[in-house]
Amino acid sequence: MTQTYPSSSQCLQKEMDLAADFESVSPSDVTKAQAEVVLVGCGAPNRGMGWYHAVQMLEGRCPSASLDYIIEPWFLGPGATSPGGPEFNTWAEDVQSQHQTTFLSSVSDLPPPQNKPRVALISGRTADNPRLLGECIDAGCKCIYLEKPGAPTVKELQEMKAKAEEAGIEVLMGYNKNVCKYVRKTREFAETVPGSHVTFVSNNAYENTPESLGECFERNAEGMLKNMAIHELALLVSFYDVTVENIESVTADKEFSSMQALPGPSGKEFTDFDKIKFTIKTKTGKEVSVAADRCGGTDSYATVTDATGKEVFRYWMPDEEDKANVEMLKEKYPTAMPYFFTQDPDYVTVKERVAKHTVTGEEAEGVATIGIAVETLRVAEYLTPTLMEQLRG
């Protein structure tokens, strides 16, 4: 029997129907049905991931989320006149006027939650996350949506997990590929192929120049495996029994992989992978591969090979249908980061599931917990020096 999946147009229609349902009820009912969202760390318009999260909520695409507060310490503080600052403040004035969203420079400036359960969406610098999580707990948040990887180190993320548990606060993670259509379809197809092997491929669209990659290495100083490829590692932890203790072997594909030491805009040198491919075998008999390329384009995909190594399945993100949505978003936001658009439906799905879970208690299906994030970061810290050593050898 052939299993069918909702199309992008059907998903979009469902979002519109949900939004229409909210418009048809009284303000008091809406208050009960929505979470009060505090976005912490917005970033520059068209550049910051937090900004794109804001845009999706302001457009009403996450019906269970009301974006009531945006916290932006840099552009509402010392960075007001820095590059991106004037553009941010113009955008903030428009948003405040049209949506009555309150902009603040610090989490400590938040008033107590009102008639809605409060969710913090933390999308700031990774290094700031341990402090921000503590501040959001103190600000009365019932649930926290934490962008990947969560913290710079395993130790810090474990401490954050313990602090949240002590306060009785749930922390869910922005690993959007856990809910992706291409991941689900690939996993389901692989189950029908004896001796199958799955490879997850992730691409970014940076220019293949020392200047572009150097800027990338410095801005994402936690490294590729804690940054770009962390989504794929979360898939391995979530679905393939990958833990540090359960890894039997990891092998780099030296023909595909590349590692460079490049100066960033500050002049400081950073060593990182510009592309990496590796295969993990677990002690429980599973085998899976990951490939990531900073300069590979905007699309991600997954493949399935059979027992002979022949590729028998490939599914892209975006698929043919989703590309229509990508083109529409490119026209609407022509200067925004291209990867926002390829992952657009999945960003919506994760935020809506987290917000709805906070309001109703309904399971946030497929959304990774901070426990998954801790193990994912442990795997990243284990793999990075291991793979670097293999490439140097």
Tens of pLDDT along 98-150? 999 999 999 999 999 989 999 999 998 889 999 999 999 999 999 999 999 99
| 251 and 331 part of one domain | yes
Residue 379 CA to residue 147 CA, distance in Å, equals 17
pLDDT in tens, 206-253: 999 999 999 999 989 999 999 999 999 999 999 999 999 999 999 999
| 134 and 108 part of one domain | yes
Mean pLDDT over 320-325 rounds to: 86
| 145 and 237 part of one domain | no
Mean pLDDT of the chain: 91
DSSP state of 235: H
pLDDT in tens, 265-299: 999 999 999 999 999 999 999 999 999 999 999 88
Domain span at residue 183? 177-341+369-392
Helix 344-360 and helix 8-23, axial crossing angle in degrees, nearest 10: 40
Per-residue pLDDT at 26 exceeds 80: no
| 146 and 213 part of one domain | no
| 181 and 165 part of one domain | no
| 84 and 213 part of one domain | no
Out of 144, 174, 204, a domain closes at: 174
Residue 129: in which H helix or E strand, if any?
Answer: helix 129-138
* Domain-embedded: residue 167: yes
Strand stretches in the chain, DSSP E: 35-40, 65-71, 102-104, 118-122, 143-146, 170-173, 197-203, 247-252, 258-263, 269-282, 287-293, 300-305, 311-317
Nearest to 154 by CA among 367, 370, 389: 370
Q: Give strand pairing partners of 122.
A: 40, 146
What radius of gyration, in Å, describes the C-alpha atoms of the chain? 21
DSSP string of 303-360, one letter each residue: EEE-TTS-EEEEEEES-HHHHHHHHHHHHHSTTS-HHHHHTHHHHHHHHHHHHHHHHH
Out of 112, 146, 174, a domain closes at: 174
How many domains does the structure of the chain reveal? 2
* Domain-embedded: residue 374: yes
| 210 and 143 part of one domain | no
| 278 and 312 part of one domain | yes
Q: Give strand pairing partners of 278.
A: 252, 290
Residues 6+ apart with CB under 8 A from 286: 240, 241, 242
DSSP state of 173: E
* Domain-embedded: residue 204: yes
Question: CATH no. for residue 247?
Answer: 3.30.360
| 103 and 244 part of one domain | no
Question: CATH no. for residue 99?
Answer: 3.40.50.720
| 62 and 79 part of one domain | yes
Out of 174, 204, 228, a domain closes at: 174
